[in-house]
Structure 1
């Protein structure tokens, strides 16, 4: 099975570099590229790629905005943010907005191909240099029984976001957000969102 990839970066050298890095893997095909967030959202609807490799810093839009737009235009695409800096907060914001992975641009070709294939299989892949504690959090998440979506919604609630704001950030409907939150509360044995956030924090999830 070949997977189509859209590369979004405002530097031609990066777009060309990714093409070269992935050329040795016949299962990953560069379907096209875009140099801005707006162009990416337009192109994703035309190309319908399996995966979008997205530069964290684009000239026209913040990564979370681009991710929300991409998900509206083509909900089936996996999104991996690509950054030159181990910008922890930027990557966290992108993951919270619905990205499926975060990689540093100095990744070697074989590692890049492997990471993208893992994301395409449904895994969440984050370079440990960006988020060293991501592994511990993943273990805590597995123990809690929360799904990724429930966790994502709870994290945004912990930042003080309202249900409509969480819906906007994740591309979910308000009803779906409410359902995920209620499910998270139930799994954590909490009566309300404040208690749920406290319990999730104690469990090392937030």
Structure 2
């Protein structure tokens, strides 16, 4: 049986090299390439056709949920595992909602990492138990603000600098529906404009 093809996406060379070193002695996993940004990852995924992508939560050019969505488009067969130093970050929930198959903390021991990646390749969803409070905190923040998941999704895309037409294209909603969701989010957050709404959502721990 051939080794599963792994691509590592992280803007820190020491992480990319470290993962490659950790997996070097594992015959069932082979690191076939790496990328230092989201856009580079999407380009290389087309060429490399990885079975599994180990994806940093924080990249310089794109948010992890965006990259997850892009990877599912360009390489639908790949399993995506978010790899992060920030176990309490709310972006973890957004990445899982976008279709990530697992989330691991970067201090995982080599044996734990290998076991988790094998489990994901078997079709299991693996989330480091230390991250569970992050999911609860994100849900709690939504509850406090009164935002629905859809309003949050639209606001999150707006925070990335997307225009209403771009948000509509990314979500499959009409432009009028996007506008309605944004207006509703502004009202619930007590904000006068989207910039203020993004600031308040960030303060609430949602962005």
TM-score w.r.t. length of structure 1 = 0.66
Runs of 4+ in 1 over 3 A off after TM superposition: 165-169
Q: How many residues align?
A: 150
Supply the RMSD in Å over aligned alpha carbons.
2.6
Q: Any unmatched runs of 5+ in structure 2?
A: 136-146, 154-166, 174-207
1:132 Cα deviation after fit: 4.5
d(CA) in 2 for partners of 1:18, 1:46: 21
Q: Which residue of 1 aligns with 2:203?
A: none
d(CA) in 1 for partners of 2:85, 2:104: 9
d(CA) in 1 for partners of 2:37, 2:112: 25
d(CA) in 2 for partners of 1:122, 1:108: 21
d(CA) in 1 for partners of 2:29, 2:125: 18
Q: Which residue of 2 aligns with 1:159?
A: 149
Q: Is 1:19 aligned with 2:32? A: no
Q: Which residue of 2 aligns with 1:100?
A: 101
Q: Which residue of 2 aligns with 1:8?
A: 9
Q: Which residue of 2 aligns with 1:182?
A: none
d(CA) in 2 for partners of 1:167, 1:18: 35
d(CA) in 2 for partners of 1:132, 1:112: 21
TM-score w.r.t. length of structure 2 = 0.66
Structure 1 residues 64 and 166: CA distance shift in structure 2, 3 A? farther
d(CA) in 2 for partners of 1:166, 1:82: 29
Structure 1 residues 104 and 40: CA distance shift in structure 2, 3 A? same
1:89 Cα deviation after fit: 0.9
d(CA) in 1 for partners of 2:61, 2:35: 12
Q: Which residue of 2 aligns with 1:49?
A: 50
d(CA) in 2 for partners of 1:114, 1:17: 17
